[in-house]
Each structure stands twice: as C-alpha cells, then as structure tokens.
Amino acid sequence: MRIAVAGGTGRIGALVVERLMARGDEVVLLTRGEGVDLVSGGGLDERMTGVDAVIDVTNPPVADIESAERTFTAITENLLAAESRAGVRHHVALSIAALRRVEGNPHYHGKRAQERAVQAGSTPYTIVPATQFHDFPAMIAEWEVIDGVAQVPPLLLQPIAPADVADVLVGVAAHEPQGMHRDVAGPRTEDAVDMARRTRAARGVDAPLLATWRGGAFGAEFAGEVLLPAADALIAPTTFEEWLVAEGIRSARGEKHAGVGFGG
C-alpha cells in the first residue's frame, strides 16, 4: 500500500513509519520538511497522488480552547479535502479514549473538534481512541515545576506503550474503514504519581516530586476513573513494567527520551 502519514516525524509517527516500511508499504511523509503545511493545506495535493490511506498522528501545541479547535479542525479538513481530490480510500485518526468525559482542557477540545471534522468528511474513516502513553506522567513532572518540585496529579490511568499504539494504527490502515474504533489501552490500571516517580528513577532523575491537584494543566475533573477506557477496550500487550525496563536500558545507553503527551 501507499500510505501517507501526517505527523510522521513525531514519536508516534516515527514508529508508524518504521512499521509501515517493515511491512513493505510505500510511505509518504506529510511534513514541513517535505513542503507540506497542514494548517494551510499547502503542498498536500502534490504528496497525496496515488495514496491508499492516510494516518493522522499530528499533535500540534495548543494554548487555549479556541486555538485548539481551530488548529485541529484546519489540519483535518485540509487532509480530508486533499484526500477527496486524490481518491484516498481510508482516513485513520489517532484520538484519546474517554475524550468526552473532560471539559475545560484545550487539547481535549481540539481532539473533539478533530473527530467531528473526520466524521463530517467524505473520506471513509477509522478513529482510534487510545489511553495516555506510558511516559505521560513523567512529562507532567517536567511541565509542572514549582520551586524546583515537580507537581503530578494523582491520575488513575490505564497507560499504553507508544509502540503498541503504532501497531494498532498500522493494522487498522491495512483493513476496511471501521468508523469509531473501540478504545485501545494498556493491560493494567496505574497511578500517575507512582509512574512518574518510577520513570524518573529509571532515567536517573533524582528530584523532588509532589502529588497534588494544584498544578496548572490537570484539575480535579480528571480524578477518579474519568480517564479509564471503556469496558470493551482492545488491550495492548506491553505493561508499564516492561516499558520501564526498556527506559532504564535507554538511559544506560545515553539515549534521548522523546515526549509524546496525550494519547493522540
């Protein structure tokens, strides 16, 4: 297959590209480096010729709800319009599990706008909602630091390995469009504070960490089981413990750890 990947140089995107190439597919990157501006749509038509499917794993930074909805909608509508002109048969979008349970977070508003745009488009689609990635709590600890102390909210998660997400996306792209895919999650429920501490330890980070809801990005609306997947979720194989071992090996080798943020 000839598959285009929007966001193909990001962490999830790079994993998707790696798996597509290993499978023998022809990969088309939809990136600025290839002359594509997803927000304006510039350069898309030239890259979309002969494409069978598009996998969208873009994750643009957003500052507020308005800009989030505007940016995610623009990217999606530009992709879908170019797909329609090129006769693309399948649009695959990575989203977030439990997306509609949280209000007020700009990223969640942006992803909801993305889903609406995909569903309103003419290209047959599959939306894949995934839970947060295994390194998400450690990223929160990097974002929220007050007086040298990392602030991590006690979120309840069922995290998934980025590599497992990439496997699902590639598998979905090879089959017929499914509309809304069931949630994709890791095998176990975990506590974000514990995950952050253990991830930082595996990476050799020795710094104080405080469990609190007073951080800027995540309030009490994320508490309880809000972020957990639906009961019929597709369960990916890699546990947090297995991923953590790999992180420790990476740190020992001096490799960089790329952040991935939300599931989607």
Residues 100 and 112 sit within 8 Å (Cβ to Cβ): yes
Q: Could you give all domains of the chain from N- to C-terminal order, each with its CATH number? A: 2-253 (3.40.50.720)
Please report, for residues 45, 127, 234, the alpha-carbon distance to residue 73 in angstroms, rounded to integers and kept in the order given.
18, 15, 27
Q: Which pLDDT value is given to residue 63?
A: 87
Whether the model pTM is above 0.95: no
Q: Which pLDDT value is given to residue 64?
A: 93
Q: Which pLDDT value is given to residue 144?
A: 87
Mean pLDDT by 10 residues, the chain (264 residues): 96 96 97 95 97 97 93 98 98 96 88 98 98 94 90 94 97 96 97 94 89 79 90 96 83 59 56
Question: Phi, psi at residue 262, to the nearest 5°?
Answer: -65, 165
Angle at 224 between CA 110 and CA 102, to 5 degrees: 15
d(CA 202, CA 109): 33
Q: Which pLDDT value is given to residue 252?
A: 62
